[in-house]
Amino acid sequence: GDIAQLTPPWPYHQEFYGSDDLVSFCVHELETTIERIGPGRIAAMFGEPVMGVAGMVPPPDDYWPRMTQVLKEHDILFVADEVVTAFGRVGAWYGSSHYGIEPDIIACAKGIASGYMPIGALIIRSEVADVLEGDYSGGSYGGHAVSCAVAKACIDIIERENLLQNARERGLQFLQELQPLLDLPVVGDIHGLGLAIGVELVSDKVTRAPLPLDDPTLVARFREDTGVIFGLHGNTLVLTPPLVISPEEVSRTVEAVGSVAERLSTDGAYHR
């Protein structure tokens, strides 16, 4: 096909990398993939700074700096999909700024207007943007004034209320308070960055096999039993609360995660 996929940087799943170190494996795989296809035939690499749909999985700190260094050496563009991670979700304006990298293009949406209005944006490095100039294909709602006004107001509030710091502090509180749940038989891993947190549920802690959670009514049942709305991405419970969440609300959410995890058995059955 026209797209080559790379192994995801997923620290809990060491089985993806055999006996290699995760980052060395991924960097080597990128280098050999570029060699196989030919750098002149690769338009760009796309990646999420923190993998969202996989269940809010942050890579090791040196993953993005080393991967983007290889891309730069081969003159290949890097496009950061920050639809989930930008505008405070991970405790920084961008996931890229957290990891200290400068993508050529950043795609963002959701958090710009805190979800209140539909709006998305591309942030493009000037050398790349210059090439596109004059060839812009707009859309019916491009530059929508109300969406832009709401986005501006949200960005002002994130600054004024210091919400990047709140996302960082409450995120650390989440990780700390969730930690004891690792003693439960179905809780395999707890990971996250800022207020993008995942609790990966497994049926076997040795093989890290996913807990089978295919009942589509589960999220509704979790909500009825705990009063908390969870995301469920595959076998990962996902927590992406508002950036204004308080310390008390964090503790109450952790309690809800605990009560859900306690009611799940290793065959995936949920006992009410």
Residues in contact with ligand PLP by CB under 6 A are 48, 52-53, 81, 83-84
Nearer to ligand PLP, 60 or 120 (CB): 120
Closest separation in Å from C-beta 167 to ligand PLP:
18
Nearer to ligand PLP, 119 or 178 (CB): 119
Closest separation in Å from C-beta 108 to ligand PLP:
9
Residue appearing with tokens 């089985």: 15
Closest separation in Å from C-beta 84 to ligand PLP:
5
Closest separation in Å from C-beta 120 to ligand PLP:
7
Nearer to ligand PLP, 81 or 200 (CB): 81
Nearer to ligand PLP, 84 or 199 (CB): 84
Closest separation in Å from C-beta 192 to ligand PLP:
15
Nearer to ligand PLP, 6 or 53 (CB): 53
> Closest residue to ligand PLP, Cβ-based?
83
